[in-house]
Structure 1
Amino acid sequence: MRSKQHTALVTGGGSGIGLAVAKMLAHEGFRVIIAGRSLDRLQQAVAEAPALHPLALDVSSEKDVSRAFDTLMESDMMPDVLINNAGAAATAPLERTSLKVWQSMLDVNLTGAFLCTRAVLPHMKAQQFGRIITVASTAALKGYAYTAAYTAAKHGILGMTRTLALELAGTGVTANAVCPGFTDTDIVRTSVQNIVEKTGRSAKAALNELTHHNPENRLIRPEEVADTVLWLAGEKASAINGQAIAVACGEVM
């Protein structure tokens, strides 16, 4: 049992892994804020789960992050559990990756997590409790062809997490990464469609191109990722710090 009700902020919380995490945390008694760029998507999520609180936020904008966290502080909604989940994926051979695409992958997948984490740290350290959980990817632990920008950003997330864990040791605040394999989300569905359009393969063959990395030859379910996040968010996970936990059926060990 938790000694108090904790407040969790889930970025990219309007769909996919983020929404699965938000629903699970709310079910377990957390006060949950879901953040994202699309207010319509957030409102649709709240219609599914009325306990969730929507927050319009572009994590890649320093100004927007500062504004959002000032609002949370003023309304006594400052999170002591931060789930850095906002992300995007773009694929191309490195030699055909534009600087714009490269920068956009770093902005949303890496800089966004940095900005949100930096904003929440003073509050967490002051109350001597906090959980920073960043949804990375198995791409933080290995390479995948045609994903140079995305993989670089996810490797960066892991480096930031490990450094932060050392800086926070003894404060009551922990930092960990969760690294799912290919997961049944809109990002993967878009990837499958891109493979179909570019190669002429069937949707089944395109999906197999992604799932063959998984020893169980399947997509990870968002709820499986959410289970791991829930554990890390708890008070009893205080000794888990600086870890990259793969949720990938043994794809990486």
Structure 2
Amino acid sequence: MAADHTPTAGPLAGRHALVTGAGGGIGRAIATALAGAGARVSLAGRRAEPLRDLAAEIGTERALALPGFDVTDPTAVARGLETARAAFGPVGILVNNAGEAPSAAFEATGLELWNRVLAVDLTGVFLVTQAVLPDLKAQAPGARIVNVASTAGLSGYPYVAAYCAAKHGVVGLTRALALELARSGVTVNAVCPGFTDTPLLDGAIRTITGKTGRTAEEAAATLARANPQGRLVQPREVADAVLWLASPGASSVNGQAIPVDGGEVMAG
């Protein structure tokens, strides 16, 4: 694809956003919201079909599918970033969304599972951010890093010890990097969704059904009750928080971990 840096309409017109884990759920909603605000969006992920479907939905002149983008593999990250730059120029907005959340009791959490979750959910944020940071500094002021963490990065939940540890790490990395980059014009923030209506929730539902004998519908209702509003968060609600953090109006918001959870966790 030839480089096309022609501005489009919207508050993010002319900006290039890279979204990892863009193929479904929260990532898909974020990519759609950023594109709707005028950004050109590189859709990074491992599976080709959902990324290409989303690129076609947004419009291939404004969205680029980057299949094979494994956030745990520095070579794959560098290759994908090179393709993204060739299409849309330097990255000015990075959304680290790729993640997984397998469920297991702590005593049944083997080292392989532990290492895999930390590699995807935490080390992946480190690798992609390091690779993109030169672009972001060159695009400052106004460049953005938004990390999709979780309320599991602010609190604790049973049967997802590796996920909680990784997401606490993402929040810590967000805060450290925000201070390190504060004078550069690059802001770094995290959004922390509560239980959200995405396929990633299926693992938690299977754990509840397996341990309690409840139906999947009853298990989902149990998770919804963790939210004081009595419902699951919708992906678009998380995307709206990311969109705000990426916008010019959030230039003084830095180092924050913002819950999107109906009041489940009140960060102080």
Residue of 35, 39, 47 corresponding to 2:48: 39
- Aligned pairs for 1:210-225 within 5 A: 210-225=223-238
The one-letter amino acid paired with 2:123 is T
Equivalent residue number for residue 97 of structure 1:
109
- Aligned pairs for 1:1-253 within 5 A: 2=11, 5-50=14-59, 51-56=62-67, 57-129=69-141, 130-253=143-266
The one-letter amino acid paired with 1:215 is P
Which blocks of at least 5 consecutive residues in structure 1 are unaligned? Answer: none
Which blocks of at least 5 consecutive residues in structure 2 are unaligned? Answer: 1-9
In structure 2, relative to structure 1, the CA distance for the partners of 1:210 and 1:12 (3 Å cut) is: same
Answer with 16-25 or 65-74: which moved more: 65-74
Q: Deviations over 1:52-90 (max 9, x none)?
A: 211120111111112222333344433110010001001
Deviation at 1:194, TM superposition (A): 4.1
* Distance in 1, Cα, partners of 2:257 & 2:12: 27
* Distance in 2, Cα, partners of 1:131 & 1:157: 16
* Distance in 2, Cα, partners of 1:46 & 1:71: 15
Query: Percent identical across equivalent pairs?
Result: 51
The one-letter amino acid paired with 2:30 is V
Deviation at 1:33, TM superposition (A): 1.1
Count of matched residue pairs: 253
* Distance in 2, Cα, partners of 1:210 & 1:135: 20
Q: Is the 8 A contact 2:148 2:190 kept in 1?
A: yes
Report the RMSD for the aligned CA atoms in angstroms: 1.6
Q: TM-score, normalised by structure 1?
A: 0.95
Deviation at 1:121, TM superposition (A): 0.9
In structure 2, relative to structure 1, the CA distance for the partners of 1:47 and 1:173 (3 Å cut) is: same
Q: Is the 8 A contact 1:69 1:78 kept in 2?
A: no
